[in-house]
Amino acid sequence: MSHARQTRFPSADQVAPDLLAAFRDLPAAILSDNLDGLRGTVNLKPFHRPGRRMAGTAVTVRVRQGDNLVLHRALDYVRPGDVVVVDAGGFAGQAITGKIMIRYLETIGAAGLVVDGAIRGGDEIGQRDFPAFARGLTPRGPYKSGPGEINVPVVIDGMPVRPGDLVVGDGDGVVAFSPDEAPAVRERAQAQLAKEVQNVADVLAGRWDRSWIIEAERKQGLAD
């Protein structure tokens, strides 16, 4: 009798801690802007306590819909500072994980959990700071049949994620990209953030410059 085997690869090199610290302070929306506005989740929501930001190295998992056997095995591949990224095919009919596994990830120093599917235990998860993103909640639990894949390229809510990618999340959702892109993205994002901070200060002071709208309309042939 033949048995299906799980595909497992070692976890990728981790993103440098100082780089993660820098991205933890940068909003996901600004990072998406500086990745051509093409990267970022649409349907995933944060279920942890509001205000906690996430930045870490992707450990990816692909599971069968409703099945979390390989996700339990993947915990052996998770290091402090990693974000567990689970491609559950967007299926929200059964929870892939919940409060117990999230507590475990918290105790080993993981940086967060991203599930393109459902989780459960939302009442407790919502009171904790550990970053947990998913499509939704359901009381229906998983089965454990396997197989699955660990540390392979996955797609999360339409966004490709590779093992070792830098994964950032906040109240707007999740963005993932290669560490090779990180220095340039950080520089552009920090400049944009500084500009936005100044814009808010100008709004509060009643001196926000909106004159650029006239030129933008002129370029589009919309000027009066």
* Spatial CA neighbour of 12 closest among 86, 79, 111, 108: 79
For range 127-143, the mean pLDDT? 97
For range 122-141, the mean pLDDT? 97
Instruction: Note the pLDDT tens digit of each residue in 186-198.
Output: 999 999 999 999 9
pLDDT of residue 221: 87
- The answer to the question of residue 206 being in a domain is no
Instruction: Note the pLDDT tens digit of each residue in 198-211.
Output: 999 999 999 999 88
Burial class (CB within 10 angstroms; exposed 0-12, middle 13-18, buried 19+) of 103: middle
- The answer to the question of residue 192 being in a domain is no
Query: What's the rounded Cα separation, in Å, for the pair 56 and 217?
Result: 41
- The answer to the question of residue 215 being in a domain is no
pLDDT of residue 224: 67
Q: What is the domain range of residue 50? A: 7-178
* 214/174: higher pLDDT: 174
- The answer to the question of residue 211 being in a domain is no
Looking at the 3D structure of the chain, how many domains does it have? 1
pLDDT at 3 over 80: no
For range 18-33, the mean pLDDT? 95
pLDDT at 160 over 80: yes
pLDDT of residue 212: 87
Instruction: Note the pLDDT tens digit of each residue in 69-117.
Output: 999 999 999 999 999 999 999 999 999 999 999 999 999 999 999 999 9
- The answer to the question of residue 194 being in a domain is no
- The answer to the question of residue 68 being in a domain is yes
pLDDT of residue 2: 43
* Spatial CA neighbour of 93 closest among 128, 134, 145, 47: 134
Query: What's the rounded Cα separation, in Å, for the pair 93 and 137?
Result: 9
pLDDT at 1 over 60: no
pLDDT of residue 146: 86
What residue spans of 76-208 are helical by DSSP H?
Answer: 99-107, 122-125, 182-205
- The answer to the question of residue 113 being in a domain is yes
* 222/163: higher pLDDT: 163
pLDDT of residue 172: 97
Which CATH number belongs to the domain containing residue 111 in this structure?
3.50.30.40
- The answer to the question of residue 112 being in a domain is yes
Instruction: Note the pLDDT tens digit of each residue in 213-224.
Output: 998 999 888 876
Query: What's the rounded Cα separation, in Å, for the pair 217 and 169?
Result: 34
